A = this chain, B = another copy of it.
């Protein structure tokens, strides 16, 4: 049951027009289909849609989707869900005939699929690109009150590989970065009240595209939607810009991390209070970044209850 990479999100928004104005109008994402209260978008490199926006009474995230390597892979994940007694069901969506939805042991609403209708290649249609040029969904970051268990489970049960992690002086795990596709992460876990989504990230072509994104937000008088950055992370080495969409969902624009395909690549350990960890350079991280996140939904569409974390506090260099 080989997961290939993070594949899509289903995001609930309160005003679809307003959200499309953000994701398509400002960020330039391709709108591939609009059907009732739902819209399907993708980045310029993607051959499958990666973001489903759905108008709903409150903001939330309904599905965290992963591309699997085959239909057999999806079936193996179904067997895993049954074996573990996890809530699950199969469903179809536009251009994706079989999606296996599973609420994992921690409460995250996962979705697995293999088959997907391929959309036309747009990568080299540069004359049609707009905005900073979002290329592809890169990763999701999840708040967890039990980072250590989640990290272990995602490695052992789901085959993820650890690339970087944050520990305190007592050896307790505060955050982890796990990948399948060969760069720093497909999924990260961050200590905090959870399960919640911390953010999802799109890959941009280069650091200048991050600058262009900031310029575009500024031109549109929407800098209040920039929560953090631009800066460079110590972790992942990536240049970043964190935005908050009209419903408060956090979107990272991300570029320039590194290749992690070697199975013997030693994970990078960061000390919790190392200020280089969060921000190699750039300004202090605002508190909101540590505390706020998106509600997740269970398979019935109800908010997943949150648990507080026993690890309290945010890093010293933030306050």
Contact = CB atoms under 8 A, between A and B. Distances in A.
Interface of A: 4-5, 26, 45, 47-48, 67, 69-70, 114-116, 118, 121, 123-130, 135-136, 180-182, 205-208, 211-212, 214-221, 223, 226, 230, 232, 234, 237, 239, 256, 258-259, 261-266, 268, 275-276, 280-284
B237 A280 contact: no
B259 A123 contact: no
A211 B238 CA distance: 12
Contact of A214 (B115, B262, B281): B281
A153 to B, nearest CB: 22
Nearest to A130: B130
A107 to B, nearest CB: 27
A281 B211 CA distance: 10
Contacts of A124: 218-219, 234, 237, 280
9 contacts: A5-B261, A114-B264, A118-B266, A124-B219, A135-B258, A181-B259, A214-B282, A218-B281, A223-B280
A218 B276 contact: yes
Nearest to A135: B258
Contact of A206 (B128, B208, B230, B234): B208
Given A208-B207, A263-B70, A258 B218 contact: no
Contact of A258 (B45, B206, B265): B45
A271 to B, nearest CB: 14
B4 A205 contact: no
A47 B262 CA distance: 10
B219 A232 contact: no
